[in-house]
């Protein structure tokens, strides 16, 4: 039986939800990391990824200006960083410096990789589509990296106000 409920009640059943970190250089050359839950693989050939960025996000301004960015898959141990990156703005905070987050230079774009993430994807802005209060940004992956040392437990939002690791079986 299906019971008609509010959108909010039904969409609350989507968890666990993966978290990615988008990293983009701003006009001053500072790299701004942002936590993103609304994300998907958008094409296999060529590889593309999509994220929904709020229309007022500082990081959206930076993506539009720079036209390239990194999408990182954080490890479960990076939950504290992800919460910080998702609750502070690059407008007034150097988030990577405040968290002492380790980075490596990107190889195909002007950007940085998150050293402790499970994987990093360097992307060039392919297109953007406005939705309601967000903009879906699509990036073409131009370089991919995986962490050879990490145990493979990825960070997810669990839906009960916590974040935690989910590991491939």
Ligand X SMILES: Cc1cc2nc3c(=O)[nH]c(=O)nc-3n(C[C@H](O)[C@H](O)[C@H](O)COP(=O)(O)O)c2cc1C
Contacting residues toward ligand X, per CB under 6 A: 19, 32, 34-38, 52-54, 57-59, 83, 86-91, 157
| Closer Cβ to ligand X, 64 or 124, answer by number | 64
CB of 20 to ligand X, least distance (A): 9
CB of 158 to ligand X, least distance (A): 10
Residue 157 to residues 21, 49, 70: CA-CA distances in angstroms?
Answer: 13, 19, 20
Backbone angles phi, psi at 159, to 5 degrees: 100, -5
Q: Is the peptide bond before 46 cis (omega within 30 degrees of 0)?
A: yes
29/31 Cα distance (integer angstroms) = 6
| Closer Cβ to ligand X, 97 or 107, answer by number | 97
| Closer Cβ to ligand X, 53 or 109, answer by number | 53
Residue of closest CB approach to ligand X: 86
Side-chain half-sphere exposure of 114, counting CA atoms within 13 A: 34
CB of 64 to ligand X, least distance (A): 12
């Amino acid at each position: 039986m299906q019971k008609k409920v509010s959108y909010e009640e039904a969409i609350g059943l989507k968890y666990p939800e993966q978290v990615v970190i988008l990293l983009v250089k701003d006009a001053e050359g500072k790299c701004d990391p942002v936590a993103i839950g609304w994300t998907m693989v958008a094409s296999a050939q060529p590889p593309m990824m999509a994220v929904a960025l709020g229309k007022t996000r500082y990081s959206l301004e930076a993506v539009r200006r720079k036209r390239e960015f990194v999408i990182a898959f954080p490890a479960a141990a990076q939950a504290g960083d992800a919460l910080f990156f998702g609750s502070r703005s690059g407008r007034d905070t150097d988030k990577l410096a405040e968290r002492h987050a380790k980075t490596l230079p990107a190889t195909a774009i002007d950007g940085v990789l998150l050293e402790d993430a499970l994987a990093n994807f360097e992307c060039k802005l392919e297109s953007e589509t406005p939705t309601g209060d967000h903009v879906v940004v699509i990036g073409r992956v131009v370089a991919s990296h995986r962490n050879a040392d990490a145990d493979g437990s990825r960070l997810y939002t669990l839906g009960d106000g916590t974040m935690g690791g989910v590991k491939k079986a």
